[in-house]
């Protein structure tokens, strides 16, 4: 089987052009999947707005005193705290974690994407509930 480097390059360019984290191409018996992981750290505090105070009870809000290292969702999808229902959670408030540890899973298009910690620290706050939809760049965890 010959690998079409031009096609892979085009798919990689589409990732940047359309701000995607993953793209898959299938033709006959050939399947090519190109992905990249964009996890960012943001050391800024996030103030609560009047609208955020009116969110439904299914959404945890970042408190006014929240500051520290923010771990954000690399993609749009559904956040899960454990690898499967009833299993032990990846992280809990007060747990010490290291850079690279999986802190959550974000499911997008039936693909389970492990979200790694981008820094060492102690979990100060989990900002999303299990099974909650998340947006790209949304803070999902705050570390001290």
pLDDT in tens, 85-118: 888 999 999 999 999 999 999 998 888 888 998 8
The whole-number pLDDT of residue 37 equals 65
**In this model, does residue 66 exceed pLDDT 60?**
no
Instruction: Cite the residue boundaries of each domain of the chain with CATH code 2.40.50.100.
Output: 41-143
Q: Give this prediction's pTM.
A: 0.53
- Which of 125, 16, 108, 113 lies closest to 71, judged by CA? 125
Phi then psi for 128, rounded to 5 degrees? -130, 150
CATH 2.40.50.100 for domain 41-143, yes or no, is yes
Helix ranges, 1-143 (H): 5-17, 50-53
């Amino acid at each position: 089987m010959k690998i079409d480097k031009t096609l892979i390059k085009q798919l990689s360019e589409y990732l940047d052009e359309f701000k995607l984290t993953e793209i898959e191409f299938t033709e006959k018996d050939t399947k090519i999947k190109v992905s990249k992981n964009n996890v960012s750290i943001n050391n800024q505090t996030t103030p609560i707005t009047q609208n955020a105070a009116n969110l439904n009870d299914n959404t945890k809000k970042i408190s006014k005193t929240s500051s520290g290292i923010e771990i954000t969702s690399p993609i749009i999808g559904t956040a899960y705290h454990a690898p499967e229902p009833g299993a032990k959670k990846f992280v809990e408030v007060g747990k010490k974690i290291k850079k690279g540890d999986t802190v959550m899973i974000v499911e997008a298009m039936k693909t389970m994407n492990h979200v790694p910690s981008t820094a060492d620290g102690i979990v100060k706050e989990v900002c999303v509930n299990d099974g909650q939809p998340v947006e790209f760049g949304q803070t999902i965890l705050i570390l001290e």
